[in-house]
């Protein structure tokens, strides 16, 4: 269904999210005549909710809440299950970032659990092997996985349950199997060539030499074993012992020297979140080495324009967002690296003064196909990314915004025999340009695409995120605008048609076919080069969100572009 270019009238179950009265039906207008611009309703409860991209994972998280766990326990449990049931996107071999809202203090905490480059993966070593740009697959693209250390750090600070209980659902599904879902199954089948290139990956993920069919039962007993080691020994069950030794052996056989210290000494980092205000909301992201600052810079630029007056997904509003994306991403690529190695001018880049200056460069009726700085041709186009985003809230109002990723589908394509999980290829995002902030170095973390997010206005809080490589910052900005400028609830804001631009120069972009043809035509007349994607295209990523309000009601939303759902916790029912 096409969305009109003028502001819509929505039926809202949460009136506090209204941007203004113009979105309400007229007083004498029957509610049924007001129209409905979302396919499913928000989940609502006074108890907890877990929203993920696969229903078994969401249900596992909700189960942890039902047996007494909190939002952090539930998030770890659901994330571990996702590594079993959506293995191309995430798992024990990937990295993790999270924002935690602690209800009793009202504080936000940021966790960066992205791994560093092993000691043997140096710029000189890669040059000696003949590389003039970072390999995108294989062992040379692998950095030390940070996810398990992230679980351990989150549980140690905020959790209430031992790993044995938290990881029990993931171990069950790995050992006993699960039916492969539609979107996940399609991605799996598309990765056959990548998986066939590595013996461990082929043995693990292509039983009988082929990807499992949709609805087929897949088991991964090697992964169950790796999870049991973490359940018994915490982080040491991954970064020391048999799993660590298997990773070191695989790396050595493939030509890279990993040391025991590379694994054992890795630690996640608690970081101070960064934020800006958009209209009257505070929007929070994590600082570099992630791309969160680009979302904030985009929002600051968008704030200079009256988007609500332009109309939702009108040519005028979309033009502003697309141009803001180009400006923000050019700064992202110029400045972002590991802040332990280089100073990133975050405060200046996300300032309102900087946004005002950048906004003035947007031509009202013409697309800019080149913006400055643009010297980083090494990142002109990168492969699509496979990632999961999930969020959780418990009955006390604690919230977790968590993102975890292998980067590309099945990451590097490398599985160490006996471990049951693919190693990520986050090192593919390093630069081999000497002196660049993101140049590879031992124990340095690469520029990261994955970002969790949070937004708040008064007592209304939303933990949200939308995965999908370089899609993420621009998708975050569109989601926030849907909430703030157009009064949508969280489910409608996730479902609304989106655009995405995966390149950092030129005027090319993708748009979903639900954006009206006349809007597309008008944008093309401005110079935008548009390719149409499906009505709910995977190119736009997939998001999840949970929300709380002043009345203690909790809301959940899940993107139809994924296989998942927002699943509520059941209270304890007593027979009387």
- What tokens does 99 get? 């924002």
pLDDT over 90 at 508, yes or no: yes
**Distances in whole angstroms, Cα of residue 318 to Cα of each of 10, 223, 365, 480, 516:** 20, 44, 12, 14, 12
Give the angle subtended at the CA of 116 by the CAs of 112 and 120, to the nearest 5°.
Answer: 175
Three-state DSSP class for 346? helix
Q: What is the pLDDT of residues 440-484, one digit of tens each?
A: 999 999 988 899 999 999 999 999 999 988 899 999 999 999 999
d(CA 319, CA 328): 14
Cα distance between the two ends of the chain: 48
510 Cβ neighbours under 8 A, 6+ residues apart:
499, 500, 501, 502, 530, 531, 532, 533, 537, 539, 540
Q: Is 144 helix (H, G, I), strand (E, B) or coil?
A: coil
Residues with active-site annotation = 387
Of 502, 509, 505, nearest to 528 by C-alpha is 509
Which residues, at least 6 apart from 142, have a Cβ–Cβ distance to it below 8 Å? 118, 251, 256, 411, 412, 414, 423, 424, 425, 426, 427
Three-state SS at 505: coil
CA–CA separation, 101 and 108 (whole Å):
5
Q: What is the pLDDT of residues 200-250, one digit of tens each?
A: 999 999 999 999 999 999 999 999 999 999 999 999 999 999 999 999 999
What mean pLDDT is reported for the chain? 90
Q: Is the predicted pLDDT of residue 18 greater than 70, yes or no? A: no
| Structure-token pair, residue 464 | 């949200």
Confidence of residue 345 (pLDDT cuts 50, 70, 90): confident
- Res. 45: pLDDT tops 70: yes
3-state SS record for 431-449: ECCCCCCCECCCCCCCCCC
Compute φ and ψ for 222, nearest 5 degrees: -60, -40
pTM over 0.85: yes
- Consecutive H or E run containing 500: strand 499-500
Q: Give me the percent of the chain exceeding a pLDDT of 90.
A: 81
């Amino acid at each position: 269904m096409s969305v009109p270019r003028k502001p819509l009238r929505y039926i809202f179950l949460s009136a506090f999210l209204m941007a203004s009265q113009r979105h309400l039906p007229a007083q004498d207008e029957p509610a049924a005549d007001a129209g409905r611009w979302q396919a499913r309703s928000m989940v609502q409860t006074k108890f907890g909710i877990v929203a993920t991209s696969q229903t078994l994972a969401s249900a596992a998280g909700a189960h942890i809440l039902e047996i007494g766990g909190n939002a952090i326990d539930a998030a770890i449990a659901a994330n571990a299950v996702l590594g079993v049931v959506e293995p191309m996107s995430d798992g024990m071999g990937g990295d993790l970032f999270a924002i935690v809202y602690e209800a009793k203090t009202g504080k936000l905490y940021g966790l960066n659990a992205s791994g560093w480059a092993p000691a043997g993966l140096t710029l000189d070593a890669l040059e000696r092997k003949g590389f003039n740009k970072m390999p995108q697959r294989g062992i040379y693209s692998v950095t030390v996985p940070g996810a398990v250390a992230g679980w351990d750090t989150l549980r140690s600070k905020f959790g209430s349950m031992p790993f044995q209980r938290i990881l029990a659902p993931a171990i069950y599904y790995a050992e006993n199997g699960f039916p492969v879902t539609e979107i996940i199954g399609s991605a799996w089948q598309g990765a056959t060539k990548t998986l066939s290139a590595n013996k461990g990956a082929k043995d693990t993920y292509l039983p009988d030499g082929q990807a499992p069919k949709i609805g087929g039962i897949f088991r991964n007993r090697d992964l169950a074993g790796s999870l049991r080691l973490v359940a018994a020994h915490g982080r040491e069950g991954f970064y020391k012992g048999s799993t660590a030794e298997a990773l070191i052996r695989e790396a050595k056989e493939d030509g890279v020297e990993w040391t025991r210290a590379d694994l054992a000494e890795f630690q996640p980092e608690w970081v101070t979140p960064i934020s800006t205000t958009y209209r009257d909301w505070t929007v929070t992201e994590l600082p570099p080495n992630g791309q969160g600052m680009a979302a904030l810079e985009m929002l600051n630029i968008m704030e200079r324009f009256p988007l609500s007056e332009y109309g939702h997904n009108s040519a005028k509003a979309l033009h502003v967002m697309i141009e803001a994306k180009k400006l923000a991403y050019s700064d992202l690529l110029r400045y972002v690296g590991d802040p332990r190695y280089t100073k990133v001018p975050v405060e200046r880049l996300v300032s309102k003064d900087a946004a005002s200056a950048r906004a003035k460069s947007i031509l009202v009726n013409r697309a800019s196909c080149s913006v400055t700085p643009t010297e980083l041709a090494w990142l002109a186009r990168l492969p699509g990314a496979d990632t999961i985003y999930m969020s959780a809230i418990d009955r006390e109002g604690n919230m977790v915004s968590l993102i975890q990723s292998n980067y590309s589908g099945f990451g590097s394509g490398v599985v160490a025999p006996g471990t049951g999980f693919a190693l990520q290829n986050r090192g593919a995002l390093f630069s081999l340009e000497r002196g660049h902030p993101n140049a590879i170095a031992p124990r340095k973390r690469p520029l990261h695409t994955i970002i969790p997010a949070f937004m708040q206005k008064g007592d209304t809080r939303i933990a949200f995120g939308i995965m999908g490589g370089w899609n993420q910052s621009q998708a975050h900005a569109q989601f926030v605008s849907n909430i703030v400028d157009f009064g949508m609830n969280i489910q409608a804001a996730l479902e609304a048609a989106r655009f995405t631009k995966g390149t950092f120069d030129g005027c090319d972009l993708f748009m979903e076919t639900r954006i009206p043809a006349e809007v597309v035509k008008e944008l093309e007349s401005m110079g935008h080069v548009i390719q149409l994607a499906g009505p709910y295209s995977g190119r736009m990523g997939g998001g999840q969100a949970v929300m709380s309000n002043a009345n203690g009601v909790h809301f959940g939303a899940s993107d139809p572009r994924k296989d998942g759902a927002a699943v509520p916790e059941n209270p304890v029912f007593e027979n009387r």
